[in-house]
Each structure stands twice: as C-alpha cells, then as structure tokens.
Structure 1
Amino acid sequence: MACCALILAAGASTRMGVPKQEIPLLGVPALVYTLRAFEQADSIQRIVLVCPPKQETHYRELADHWHCTGKLAAVVPGGATRQQSAAAGAAAAGECDFLAVQDGARVLTLPGEIDCVVEDAQKYGASALAVPVKDTIKVISADGFVTDTPERSTLWSVQTPQVFCMEKYCSLLTAAQGDFTDDCQLFERAGVPVHLCRGSYTNLKLTTPEDIPAAEAILRAREQ
C-alpha cells in the first residue's frame, strides 16, 4: 500500500525566534535530517514538502544541495495554520493509500520508526508514534492552582509521524470545524480510533533554543 509523507515546514517558529527548519545541527540544516529519514524509510514512496509561502524555490534548492530529492514529489506553500498546510500537502500527494504527516522540526525521527508506524496504520487505519510520559502531570485552573492529577500510566506524549488512511483523512480534514494542534484530533473528534505505536524519547521536536544542544548531542551519539 503506497504511503506519501507530508513534511510540514511552513510554521512561523515564534517560540524559537528563527526558522526551525533551517537551524544548523552539526553544520547541516535541521530539515535535511527529516528529509533523509523519509528518503531512507522503505515504507515511504514519495514526499511532499510544505514550506512557507513564496519560498518553494529556496526549499527545492536546499533539498537539491543536500541530495534529498530521491522521493521528493512536490514542494508546495503552506497556509496560515497547520490544518491549512496539511490540506495543501494532501492535495499534492497524488494517488496513495496512506499519508504520513510529519512536523518538519521533528528532525530526529529514524527510518525504522517511520516504517513501524506506517505498518501500524495499515493494520489499524490510523496510528501515531508516542511514548509514555515520565513526569507526573498536573491539571491547573486559570489562576494557576492544581485541580487534578491524571493517572500517569494512561498518559502518552504523541509525536510524529502520524499516519492515516488517505481517503478518511482528507474527508475529515474537509469537514473539520476549528483548528487542531495535531492530526490525531481530527479522528478523535469524529470518533475514529487512533492506535499509538511505541516511539523513542530521542524523537525530539525543535521548539525552543534549549532543544538545539540536546538534538546535537543525540546526533553525535548516533555517529559513534
């Protein structure tokens, strides 16, 4: 069953202060690590890169320079929200059975993890990489007081890629009301079950400046 990866790299990077996808990690633009992982994943047949508007040529040239175009089918502009960017990517995916939606700033995903979650989605219809939370989580009120402590054994931190049956995903995306912070919510709100596939704690997402040295440390360890 054919699977197309949608790499969403059109965000404003407001918490980082600079475009996350181009931050150098060990001298290599962060986005290149993401592209390489999906190039190497056996379960992925093609890739659609969703970039900031009017920067399609720049990102195509970046991929060319770093030799990440073997599966790159299209580079398209994103929208003002994650949902709009996902819709733009899905429209350019062509004919396929599944879509693997990846945050462009989640640069440490391994090819084997991609293959695992794609296989999981082919079995269950929808799947996402995730890991059990390590910390105790507190729910707080608007004025900062603790109101609840959920049972930690039931809490997982969801990552990407998140992989879905393309037909169902596009249908839910078209009908969606409001904006969602991740794509699993589309299925949750529609009552469609999403299975979680055990990922790794090294599958970090670049969000704040503190994440950069942590990501580089993981990359150095992988080179040893």
Structure 2
Amino acid sequence: MGRKSHCCAVIVAAGSSTRMALGFSKQFVPLCGTPAIVRTLSAFSSAELIQSIVVVCREEDIAQVGNEIQKYRIEKVTAIVEGGATRQQSVAAGISAAPENAAYFAIHDGARALITSEEINASVEDAYECGASALAVPVKDTIKIIGKNHYVISTPERSTLWAVQTPQVFERGLYQRAMKQALADGGDYTDDCQLVEHTGVKVHLCMGTYTNIKLTTMEDVEIAQAILKSREAPL
C-alpha cells in the first residue's frame, strides 16, 4: 500500500485494573505527573504514520478520557468507544469505529504508556512490508515449562523466544478475515497476533525496546517513572 496508506491506531484501555487495586482505571495513573493514557495517546498523535486514533475504554471512563484529550490537546482522536467483556470484543468495537478509509490497524495496549513515536512508525512500516507485524524483544531469562506441582517439564531454547508487545499492526482485510474466523470458530484471543496466526498467516516481529513495558502492578509504575526521568523529557 505504501507510506500514504491510512493507519488507524486502536488504543485498548478497557481493562478492569484489578491487579493495581487503585479504585480507578490504571489508564489515569500519573506517570511523572501526566496520566498514563495521555502519554500513550500523545505518542500515537505524534507518530507520522498514524492518521487517526480510536480509544476503547470502560463506559465509566469515556468522559474522563475525553476531558484528558481536550486538556492536553491531543490530536488525531476520531472516536472514543465503550469496550466489550473481553479484549477481542474491545478491539472489535474499536475497529468498528475506525474511519472507513483506514487500510491498516495499529492495535495497542493503553497501559503501554512508554511507547515512542519512533517505535510506532517502525511497526507500521514493517506491516506495510509484511501485512502483519508486532513489536517484540528477545527474552532475556531462561523460560521453563512446568507441569503439576511446579515441576519442570522442559526448557525451550531461549534464542527462539521473543516477548511480544504492542502495537501490533495488520492490514485491514487480513485482520477482519481473522476476526470473522475467530467468531465462527468460537475463539476468544487475548493477543491479536494469535488471532491472525489462527488463520495460517505468519506475523513478522519488529525489534522493539525493553522500555515498552505494560503497567500491570504498582512496581511497573515505579519502573515507568524511573525510565521517564532517565529520558529527561516529561510531557
């Protein structure tokens, strides 16, 4: 399709945030004074290869997300929609709200707030070449597969293991066919690459960075703030 293809970012921020026990959505946790979701959206708004952004969040968060977008003057957001009961349903809601001329979807976890515009552009470029691409990094630790009572069954070769991140970018028709097949087969995937892989399509991995962490626990928040301070460029 080339550089001028319309790529719509679908930011999935509809999780319950139970593991943080904040009493509010983790999307609004401040990172060096700026809400996490604002940092996420700002990176996508600044990315040259992103033309539009759809935010998917909980119904009770829609107004606040809208207020933050207005407060921080974030551009390119064309819709804020309510998520579903599962991640797959939330992504489907976001894609349904995407502009009709979007040729690619860049699906991203709202809680990966340290993503950079450079990483976003790289993943979109990779999808232009391969049709399906995801940011990922080689696993640093040795991984064990365990069975009952936590006894080790096997040890996969570390050189073949990568930790997949987001954004995960897909050509529009390819992703829509994968979603249609998942619905027909009764599949409900937590990873969009897996959704596409189920159709037999191979996803290409694009080298990411180890700083593109996901905010899951309060320890992650502390790590994220340390990384931001090291960048010395708070919003």
Any unmatched runs of 5+ in structure 1? none
Contact 2:108 2:166 in 1 (8 A): yes
Name the residue aligned to 2:194.
185
State whether structure 2 residue 81 is matched by structure 1 residue 46: no
Amino acid at match of 2:58: P
Name the residue aligned to 1:73.
78
Query: Closer, same or farther in 2 for the Cα pair 1:197/1:92, shift >3 Å?
Result: same
* Distance of 2:111 and 2:220 partners within structure 1: 11
The alpha carbon displacement at 1:174 in A equals 2.4
**1:114-125 matched pairs, under 5 angstroms:** 114-125=120-131
* Distance of 1:136 and 1:17 partners within structure 2: 30
Name the residue aligned to 1:89.
94
TM-score, normalised to structure 2, is: 0.92
The alpha carbon displacement at 1:53 in A equals 1.8
Match of 1:152 among 151, 155, 158: 158
Amino acid at match of 2:12: L
- Report the 3-state secondary structure (helix = DSSP H, G, I; strand = E; otherwise coil) of the residue aligned with 1:206: coil
State whether structure 2 residue 202 is matched by structure 1 residue 202: no
Q: Greater CA deviation, 89-98 or 172-181?
A: 172-181
Contact 2:178 2:198 in 1 (8 A): no
Query: Closer, same or farther in 2 for the Cα pair 1:58/1:159, shift >3 Å?
Result: same
Name the residue aligned to 2:228.
219
* Distance of 1:50 and 1:128 partners within structure 2: 20
Any unmatched runs of 5+ in structure 2? none
- Report the 3-state secondary structure (helix = DSSP H, G, I; strand = E; otherwise coil) of the residue aligned with 2:189: coil
Percent identity, aligned pairs only? 55
* Distance of 1:32 and 1:186 partners within structure 2: 28
Name the residue aligned to 1:63.
69
Contact 1:3 1:99 in 2 (8 A): yes
* Distance of 2:31 and 2:60 partners within structure 1: 25
Match of 2:117 among 111, 114, 134: 111
State whether structure 2 residue 12 is matched by structure 1 residue 3: no
The alpha carbon displacement at 1:55 in A equals 3.2
Q: Deviations over 1:182-222 (max 9, x none)?
A: 10001111110000000000011101111011000110111
Name the residue aligned to 1:23.
29
Runs (4 or more) in structure 1 with deviation over 3 Å come to none
* Distance of 1:208 and 1:55 partners within structure 2: 20
* Distance of 2:32 and 2:60 partners within structure 1: 28
- Report the 3-state secondary structure (helix = DSSP H, G, I; strand = E; otherwise coil) of the residue aligned with 2:79: strand
* Distance of 2:95 and 2:41 partners within structure 1: 17
TM-score, normalised to structure 1, is: 0.97
Amino acid at match of 1:108: L
Contact 2:123 2:135 in 1 (8 A): yes
* Distance of 2:60 and 2:36 partners within structure 1: 20
- What CA RMSD, in Å, does the superposition of the two structures yield over aligned residues? 1.0
